[in-house]
Amino acid sequence: MVKRGSGSGVGEGPNMQAFVKAERGPGGEIRTVPEPRPAEDEVRVALRASSICGTDVHIWEWNAWAESRIGRTPMIFGHELSGEVVEVGRRVTTLAVGDHVSAETHIADGTCYQCRNGKMHICANVQVLGVDRDGVFAEYSVLPAVNAWRNDPKLDPALAAIQEPLGNAVHALLPEDNIEDLAGRDVLVTGAGPIGLLAIAVARTLGARRVFATEVNPLRIALAKRMGADRVIDPRGEEGAAVKTILEETEGRGVDVVVEMSGHPSALTLGFEALTPGGRVSLLGLFDRPATLDVDASLIFKAARVHGIFGRRMFTTWFQVRGLLEKPEFRAKMGEIITHRVPIHDLPKAMELIESQQAAKVSLEPRW
């Protein structure tokens, strides 16, 4: 039986199919489990589409992070969601059965220091869907009503589900209220994995001048160009060549904004070297181990500003994402990032596609 996180009532109702991390080790399996029931301020959502995040891959592979972070198994994982509300808790007034929704996957307590200072996205007591409580790789899932984001019913469910990582990309590019330096400015995205690709498309749509990317995988290089990167550089070339190229194409100045999406220490170094003095760097890709940095040259003499990026501003980025998705050209790009659409029963195969970097974003359809 699947244990659910605090706050979710458990019902004695009918059963459903769900992808479950059954054991504390690699892999996962489809199981028949009880349908969840919403608490009084929650909604129950029927899955229309999901997609696979790097976090899901870590849980699937059961890396060191998963071992230390996941509290209990069996657990339903997955968190990128497009669904239809099928049941609402007694106190829910803002949603109705039939609404199409996506999920903000960070469940904030609303009362900690961070929440009370406009930073719910880094709530001190955050509960993450599919990590701290049962997720969405299931016929049904429950989430607090306040975390359900209502979608235009006409929006492609696969696109609706990737609004969550798209929010990460937007947040990395616009980390605070006080950022306007994309307009006509130069941007470097290091690492063109799914969120890096999203960031390239967003930077382009928000009026950046030149958008550079670094990437080694041919599929991602091709996609980065289609997202609008002016130049995609393989960073494995001659030492200093990538930075030299970027400096040459920015009149010797360097870029104004770096968005680090790779988690490679060499990308960190490259990013700071390519940054114009007074520029800013957003760090989203996890490094997994301590990194060594020339703080004097990279940060102090450069008067750089660095933003650690975690989650998405709630719910500022959701409005920004919604606005972007209303643009047909932008939607078309999003459709290209979803390189594969597979039935959820093929999740193991989908994981392989991602691990071997044959896929960018993989969308999952609720076929069991």
Tell me the catalytic residues. Answer: 55, 58
Q: Decide if residue 9 touches its own copies (CB under 8 A).
A: no
Which residues are CB-neighbours of 258 under 8 A, at least 6 positions away? 187, 188, 189, 190, 271, 272, 274, 275, 279, 280, 281, 282
Length of the chain equals 368
Smallest gap, in angstroms, from Cβ of residue 293 to its own copies? 6
Is the Cβ of residue 171 or residue 340 nearer to its own copies in the bound state?
171
Task: Kindly identify the residues of this chain, within the stretch 184-213, that bind its own copies according to CB under 8 A.
Answer: 184-186, 205-209
Is the Cβ of residue 234 or residue 295 nearer to its own copies in the bound state?
295
Q: Decide if residue 337 touches its own copies (CB under 8 A).
A: no
Smallest gap, in angstroms, from Cβ of residue 64 to its own copies? 12
Interhelix angle for 218-227 vs 194-205, to 10°?
Answer: 20
Smallest gap, in angstroms, from Cβ of residue 169 to its own copies? 12
Q: Decide if residue 356 touches its own copies (CB under 8 A).
A: no
Q: List 212's β-bridge partners, or say none.
A: 188, 231
Candidate residues 314, 354, 359, 362; the one interacting with its own copies per rule CB under 8 A: 314
Candidate residues 293, 331, 336, 368; the one interacting with its own copies per rule CB under 8 A: 293
**How many residues at the interface with its own copies, by CB under 8 A?**
76
Q: Which residue, among 278, 206, 212, has the nearest Cα to 242 in the 3D structure?
A: 212
Binding mask 85-124 for its own copies (x = CB under 8 A): ---------x---------------xx-xx-xxxx-xx-x
Binding mask 57-86 for its own copies (x = CB under 8 A): ------------------------------
Candidate residues 70, 75, 146, 362; the one interacting with its own copies per rule CB under 8 A: 146
Candidate residues 136, 232, 284, 359; the one interacting with its own copies per rule CB under 8 A: 284
Which residues are CB-neighbours of 227 under 8 A, at least 6 positions away? 197, 198, 200, 201, 204, 333, 336, 337
Task: Kindly identify the residues of this chain, within the stretch 254-273, that bind its own copies according to CB under 8 A.
Answer: 268
Which residues are CB-neighbours of 189 under 8 A, at least 6 positions away? 196, 199, 200, 203, 211, 212, 213, 214, 224, 229, 258, 259, 261
Q: What angle do CA 224, 230, 231 make, to 5 degrees?
A: 75
Is the Cβ of residue 65 or residue 368 nearer to its own copies in the bound state?
65
Amino acid code (one letter) for 251: E
Q: Decide if residue 179 touches its own copies (CB under 8 A).
A: yes
Q: How many CA atoms lie within 13 A of 219 on its CB side?
A: 15
Is the Cβ of residue 186 or residue 215 nearer to its own copies in the bound state?
186
Q: What angle do CA 283, 182, 359 make, to 5 degrees?
A: 55
Q: Decide if residue 355 touches its own copies (CB under 8 A).
A: no
CB 305 within 8 A of CB 126: no
Smallest gap, in angstroms, from Cβ of residue 72 to its own copies? 21
Q: Decide if residue 295 touches its own copies (CB under 8 A).
A: yes
Smallest gap, in angstroms, from Cβ of residue 272 to its own copies? 10
Residue 223, both tokens? 């996609």
Q: Decide if residue 290 touches its own copies (CB under 8 A).
A: yes
Is the Cβ of residue 267 or residue 344 nearer to its own copies in the bound state?
267
Smallest gap, in angstroms, from Cβ of residue 239 to its own copies? 17
Q: For residue 350, how many other CB atoms are within 10 A of its CB? A: 23
Task: Kindly identify the residues of this chain, within the stretch 216-245, that bind its own copies according to CB under 8 A.
Answer: none
Is the Cβ of residue 234 or residue 319 nearer to its own copies in the bound state?
319
Q: Decide if residue 307 touches its own copies (CB under 8 A).
A: yes
The CA–CA distances, whole Å, from 13 to 35, 37, 138, 230 equal: 6, 8, 15, 54
Residue 150, both tokens? 């209502």
Taking phi over 0 as left and psi of -120 to 50 as alpha, with beta for the rest, 55 belongs to alpha
Q: Decide if residue 11 touches its own copies (CB under 8 A).
A: no
Q: Decide if residue 315 touches its own copies (CB under 8 A).
A: yes
